Amino acid sequence: MTGRTMAGRCALVALTAVSSAGAEAVQAQAARGANPNAPKLMVSACRTDDKALAVLCADKVRSQIEGDISYRSIYVRTKDDVENALRQSGYDPAVALGPGDATALAKTISADLYVDVTVSKTAAGLKATAAAIPQRDANLVQPLGTFEGARIEAVAQQISKSFSDVFDKTWERQKNCFTFVRERRYPEAQKAIDDGLKANPNSTWMRYCQLNLAKDQRAGADAIIKVAEAIRQFDPMSRTVLSELVPRYDAAGNKEKKLAALQDLQKADPTNSSLQAQIANDIAAMGDFEKALPIVQKAVADNPGDLNLIRTYWNVLIALNRTKEAIQVGDEMVKLDTAAADSAYYSRSWRMAGQIADTAKAISLLHAAGAKFPKVVEFPRTESALLRATGKTAESVAAAKRALAANPNERGMRASLVLGLLGESPPNFDGAMAMVKEMQAAKEDSATVAGSAVSIGNRMRTSLAADSVRAKGGDAEAVKAASHKVYATTAWADSLAKGTPTAAQGNFVMGVAAMSLGQIYLTEAGDIGRKLSDDIKAQKPDAAKQRAMMAEAYPRACALTNKANEYMTVASGAVPQGGRFAPDAARQAMGAIQQMNPYIEQMTKAYCKAP
């Protein structure tokens, strides 16, 4: 239960404490001539797992202090005051209170300060650590020391003696000192500090006031650090001091001291998840990711759903190249908060997926990123390339179109789209050529334009080859039409490739296409000659009829032979130029051309003369 809850639940208890047991105590005190203005002290159950010992410890410390210090100097709240308030608030009087609840209870029963004791059993008896704490600020801890004894009474006597010394020498001085600082009566505050530390050199109360004075006077960082470090000599886990030192060390560039202070602060405040994240971040910033990892892993386990901790965990895993785990943690992070899925998250995540060859995950991340950030061209552009690499051509084309929508001037995107369109089944040649024309209109790099055009021509050459057309049921006319389309496209590509790095490939592709078309015309011319010869043998015409048959056939065969020669001439010039691109294939093609050239010469002599 929190201190705030304690304060609420004790609202009615305060009336009981003051009107019943408290009233009797006040009457008894008045009868003895007690000082009504004396500070009031609370002692509640000591901190231990043994409830009986917790209550006994508190009883002994309470009664010992009551006996050691004059009732005119301090009034010790009775056991009934404390336990009645606790019971009526739903607390177990045998369980020690946390700082917040202890302060709330002290305020409720009008105690000005309280003694906090932690006790444990040892082989020789008991060991206790005690501190005095003002009700107004639970952070102003004044350690009383650590004490041992065979019996609880002996331990209580030592605690009481230490408390009496601290109370007598510094209680009023520290109150006055804080008042002086608040009222900016700095010389008087300094005198109170000097007197208090002279009377009790171990006083943290006076040093806390000294810290306040230094800050109020805007003292230099070194002076403030010096006072804070002096307090830590007596109270190493002071949250107030540690919270002060962390930013001071950071500003001074003392990373090691800052980290040590942070780690101590986290021990003093173990439920503070932001501290755990800061510690891990600071260790990571120092480059010690291996050391940061177990700290942040534990912090995440202890604080499920804490986005800051999960983000730190993610960054540490990335730094350690624990990529698969980082991807999984990243997924959880964006489930907790979709705002965490910013463009930087997606950029880092898809690359990590690529590092571990999880292409499907990379594509998924890129697609989600593109949907969330449609103006960031990186995501659809990369998605398109990965989809094309995995054979998902239609999806690749769609992603490439999204990339162009994000940035119509994105260089290389249309070239990528050309490859995607060529990868469709059947290849989308018209779409690919239209895209090249868009590239030209956009004045894209001539080499890129040429490369795309040549890719179209080459893909068309293999896709519309004679064997492929025949395999799909095409007749001779279909084969010829396809070959003309191939040649026209490769010639167009070759014209764009001139003077670019793809010029040799353009020459080769066009040359082979020309050779194929020339071969078709040569075959057709030969077919006319063979048919004429067969008809003459079969019909055995007279000389006049034979001349008439030859007069009809020869011009047609001659025209076809001339066409064959035209395309073979193109091929003879282009293929050698393409040798730089594909030397072996160029040699084979030239061999075929050289074999066909004698036939062209023979047919020219035979058919291109008067019969």
Domain ranges of the chain: 3-182, 502-607
DSSP 436-492: HHHHHHTT--HHHHHHHHHHHHHHHHHHT-HHHHHHTT--HHHHHHHHHHHHHHHHH
pLDDT in tens, 20-45: 444 444 444 444 556 888 999 999 99
In a 13 Å sphere around the CA of 50, the CA atoms on its Cβ side amount to 10
565 token code pair? 């020669």
Domain 3-182 class, CATH top level: alpha beta
Mean pLDDT to the nearest integer, 167-192: 96
For range 443-468, the mean pLDDT: 85
Q: Is residue 9 pLDDT above 80, yes or no?
A: no
Question: pLDDT category, 471, cuts 50, 70, 90?
Answer: low
Is pLDDT above 60 for 220?
yes
pLDDT value of residue 4: 40
Can you list the positions of beta strands (E) in 51-198? 75-76, 113-122, 125-134, 142-149
- What does the pLDDT read at residue 15? 35
468: confidence class by pLDDT, cuts 50, 70, 90: low
For 187-218, the pLDDT digits (tens) are: 999 999 999 999 999 999 999 999 999 999 99
In this structure, are residues 279 and 266 in contact, taking their beta carbons and an 8 Å threshold?
yes
Q: Give the pLDDT mean for 330-357.
A: 94
Q: Is the pLDDT of residue 10 over 80?
A: no
* Buried/exposed 561-584: b ≥16 CB within 10 Å, e otherwise: bbbbbebbebbbebbbbbbebbee
Instruction: Please say if the pLDDT value at position 396 is more than 50.
Output: yes
Measure the CA–CA gap between 393 and 209, rounded to whole angstroms.
74
Identity of the residue numbered 556? R
- The pLDDT confidence band at residue 93, using thresholds 50, 70 and 90, is very high
* Dist CA 608 CA 293 (whole Å): 88
**Residues 319, 280: Cα–Cα separation, whole Å:** 13
Q: Is the pLDDT of residue 316 over 50?
A: yes
Q: How far is the C-alpha of 379 from the C-alpha of 369, rounded, in Å? A: 6
Strands 40-43 and 75-76: parallel
Predicted pLDDT of residue 250: 86
DSSP single-letter state for residue 340: G
